Chain A
Amino acid sequence: MKKKIILWAVFAAIVLFLFLAPHQNVRLVDIAHTFAGPSAEHWFGTDNLGRDLWSLMVVGGIRSLGVVGLATAISFSLGTLLGMAAAYEGGILATVIQFVTDFTMIVPSFIVALILSALFGFSPVMAGLMFGIGNMGSYVNLSRGLTLGMKERDFISAEISLGLSKPRIVFLHIFPNIMKQMFVYMGNHASSVTLQYAGLAFIGLGTDITNPDWGTLLYSYRLYMLTYPRLVIIPIAAVCLLALFFHFAFDDGSAGKEELTIYD
């Protein structure tokens, strides 16, 4: 538990730092000093346009975290809610929810993103909404399965016969019990949004190199990957750290101490 508090504290500090850190104007182009190595002035060096990579990482970090945060918040809250509703209510509501879920899982979110980006442009908010709804399906399925399991437990039927209100049972008694597994799933999948975003940039959509995020940086530096690997390695390292953070911060504490079987 202590480890997790430290982890969250470090994360909060980094986010705070992203907002407060001194950085240069990322639109400042300095053709005389392109591809400069790391120095006191440019901590991570400069890129092909002489822009300060450190500043780009800071500014891009805020945007990337925004997209990831928005997308994950949408898929998690909407997905959990719909899954619980479908499992608890059953009937026509469950059928409708199941249909919508299947629909989002059948039509690849990547392709929907392609079409919607032509329609509405491609801002971080748009991307967050799109990936949030596109990835919602597996959250719905997971929470529905878990809730169905919960419904058969004795304490829930006891509560139903006691006449507790529906929202109360669902939110105060079922949700806390399935929350743990939902968070583990979320932790394992949250950061992949950054890469989906970068993938869209790669095939030529949503690129706005004046407003960088980590995915777009990866896209715009792909040409220099072999000559100046630093430009690609630093954004990858940042995404990797984010993935690791999500992985461990939402890791079920008992996962390491799973029940021993005769195999161990």
Chain B
Amino acid sequence: MNKAVRFIIKWLIVFFAASILIFLLVRMMPTTPAVKWLDTLHLPRTEANIEWITHRMGLDRPLAVQYGIWMRNFFRGDWGVSLVSGEDIRARFFAKMPYSFSIGISGILIGSAAAFFLGFRAALRRGGICDKITTVLTIFSQSVPMFILSIIIINALGVRLRIARFFTGDGKYAMLAAILLTAFYSVGSLSRIVRQGFREEMGKSYVKFAVSRGFSKETVLFRHAYKPVLAGLISAVISHFAYVFGGSTVLEFAFTIPGLSTMLVSAMDSRDYNILQVYILVVVIWMFFVHLVLNLVLRALNVRGQES
């Protein structure tokens, strides 16, 4: 079967599997949105009240009907309204998506660029300073939680030195810090992968040949051996993206960035089914584009690699 067709079919299945899963999961949560809604307005949880609000939220219809309506409206571009505030969900998501997505993309881009150069230097000098830095970074990012480092940064730069204002102003410092932290936490493990890739290339005969012809060792490695290494790095980044999404939840919380995750946590609190459902679909669609672009890049790299 054609690779592109397979790719699309796989993602369609992922999309519908995720939508059904989240649709059922939210409805399995012990407290219903109707009860939560009554609680926030300090109304008694009488049966009549619950029945009325459940009906108004449209949650008393059969599950299949609810799912059908939700899906149909989603594809028409109507993502529904928040069960709590009645706001249009799509407008809310579009206002918040830039924050979360740009933290993810910029963080990963900066992180993998840094990892590539650091890994390159680490491979060149075995046991050298760069080699040690990559190991230390890997262990550091596995033992010091992101939120601890965030608090230290906020205190040092925002409170003591007063260089950056994280919670007032237009929030550009908060975004910058979140992006750099995402990058910082990605560098360690990614640079080890780059290092490993270069080490493997070093032993290959084309590299030996080029070096013995008198090209400088660095040039040979950097100009001619980068493709397989880059391909390895990109495959690692693909699987790293889901993790970044989780990490940005913590960062958005720490720096009070009005991104998707802060909305998710509050929606979780009020059991806002509609927001929770749309959130998962948006994540899946976002991941689809990430995988699509990175797979295309990977393909482009491979083709050129075979030609040369």
Contact = CB atoms under 8 A, between A and B. Distances in A.
Interface of A: 99, 102-103, 105-111, 114-116, 118-119, 137-138, 141, 188-189, 191-192, 195-196, 198-199, 202-204, 215, 218-219, 222, 225-226, 232, 236, 239-240, 242-244, 247, 258-259, 261-264
Nearest to A204: B265
Nearest to A193: B142
Given A99-B13, A107-B280, A236-B144, A203 B242 contact: no
Contacts of A119: 25, 28-30
A236 B202 contact: no
B217 interface: yes
A115 B26 contact: yes
B155 A226 contact: yes
B148 A236 contact: yes
A202 B147 contact: yes
A264 B124 CA distance: 8
Secondary structure dominating the interface of A: helix
Nearest to B238: A105
Interface stretch (B80-88, B106-114, B171-179, B247-255): B247-255
A107 B284 CA distance: 7
Contacts of A116: 25
Nearest to A141: B239
Contacts of A240: 139, 143-144
Nearest to A203: B253
B211 A262 contact: yes
Contacts of A198: 145, 147
Contacts of B279: 111
A246 B40 CA distance: 47
B152 A195 contact: no
A254 B20 CA distance: 47
A243 B142 contact: yes
A107 B30 CA distance: 23
B264 interface: yes
Given A109-B242, A188-B189, A203-B249, A258 B139 contact: no
Contact of A108 (B151, B211, B221, B246): B246
B276 interface: yes
A239 B151 contact: no
A189 to B, nearest CB: 8
A108 B286 CA distance: 12
A219 B199 CA distance: 40
Contact of A111 (B29, B203, B245): B245
Which 6 A-B pairs give the minimum distances between C-beta atoms? A110-B246, A240-B143, A261-B202, A108-B245, A108-B242, A243-B143
B280 A191 contact: no
Most buried by A among B139, B143, B146, B152: B143
